[in-house]
Structure 1
Amino acid sequence: MESFGVNISSSTGFTLTGFPEMEGLEHWLTALLLLLYAVSILGNTLILLIIREEQSLHQPMYYFLSLLSVNDLGVSFSTLPTVLAALCFQARETAFEACLAQMFFIHFFSWTESGILLAMSFDRYVAICNPLHYSTVLTDARVAHLGMFIIIRSFCMVFPLPFLLKRLSFCKANVLTHAYCLHPDLIRLPCEDTTINSMYGLFIVISAFGVDSVLILLSYVLILRSVLAIASQEERLKTLNTCVSHICAVLIFYVPMVSVSMVHRFGKDAPEYVHKFMSMVSLCPSNAQPNYLFHQD
């Protein structure tokens, strides 16, 4: 049977897809996606410039915000080339190695963003629950070390994925579901057993998104308990207001991912373009970050 297998790594590669089911509206959907990309790129670039120039923003929370903006730019530039090529120029072929590289960066930036949001929740916890020690706990050196840890953690988790795929032979149709390369999409194509790939993918999802989301929730339970101990209602609202932007960023990051997962599992009868569009929107970086520049004290 293996004589009929085709090893894609030695052939042309993969074929990306757009929205062929919506031939009449494909241009409008493409325009909407490109608008989201433009807003994200311009918004995050503006955030970086403002934080760099404004000395009063040289604080731990804004250092994390800068890292989040850089990460969001990484997500945009990782997916934009193939989205442009597939949807605007109908260039749907991508090489095997290029596809693996794109997959690596997409998942790397996704895990990194989850870690940054967790670090931001820790920042809010210290600022609200232990404000007198805020400057001694979150020093510039510790913020830098925490940022390096988040990046190294993400790299170590994603690094094995391309190698686990390269060891497989691909003998099924080499057509991907989206206009970019994702690990869950790629492991559908090999003709060999992909149990190891699936189990490792599940492991890093639980160890990153699962653990991070639980710790973020725990931090806000502790924050809420501390806020409710404040006697003045005005002070309660003022304190909670410093968390609004971070909560929005967390929701914008996690809700689309959960929604995509729910649609894939329980909305199998939905049109294919619904799955594709929701997946693309979930990878368009969040733009809740600008609110930090106006809601933090």
Structure 2
Amino acid sequence: MDAPRGSAESEESGELQRLRRRAYGPNPDIATDAVAQARLSELEAARRGERSSVIDAAAALQASGSEPVPVPVPLEGSRQASTSLSQPVTAVSGEHDPDGGSVTEADPAAVPAPDSERIDGVLSVTWWRRRRSLPWIIAAVAVLATAIGIALFVADGLRRPSPVAQLTPQGRPGSAVIRADDDVFVMYDLTIEDFVTYGSYGPLQIWGTTQVENKRCIAVVGDNHISVFECTAPTVDTIADFNIEPALIPPAPSGELSPYVRFVLHDDVVDVYRPNEPGEFYGSSPAT
């Protein structure tokens, strides 16, 4: 017996949150779990698809609601519904009663069927009223669907603060920045030519590479060596957390001298966040 749809959706939502915490929360450990990364990518793609389908449905409903409603045209030879009651028409028969008086009777062919006329009229008016109300129903559904879609995006946006800075690719790092025998270079068989620099934040330089088993990696460079090196699947945000002397970097938006910095690499952009505590849940969704 299949599980109820609501129960399945709740389980997937809980699984997505658990995987996001492993990827983006304190002490992320998903970088070494390829299966978990693939599942996270699948669930986040499904979530983005649900949002897109809501917006697409709203647009389709709005488009259909804007089309003119055709006016019914009577077919050739058809009879217009009567709006007034016809009076009976009588005809004189040639027969006489035994007393010699004439007998007056209605000619069946000359008497209309008023009940049929009224039924046709009522049906036509009801059908036309339904057709006239259809655009309003469609418009109301479209507005509701659009509101749901907007609410989803707003709710997701409220959960994530804006980055304090964004770093973009700036070419290859300088050859004198780091030693050729740096531990990361040796461990992953890399050279400085395999990296792209995204510039600096305070004294820290941020690099990226896709040369490690087709993964996307981010490196935090300080004191002429790679201090932090994290890799994930390209479909998952690549995150590096770093603690530094607060006086060496710009102050946090709150004005506090927070030592925590989070770098999030996605779509050739590095977002810089200033968490209030280590591993705060920032950057929980890849860019759509």
More helix by share: 1
Q: TM-score, normalised by structure 2?
A: 0.28
More strand by share: 2
Larger radius of gyration: 2
- Structure with more relative contact order (C-alpha pairs < 8 Å, separation 6 or more): 1
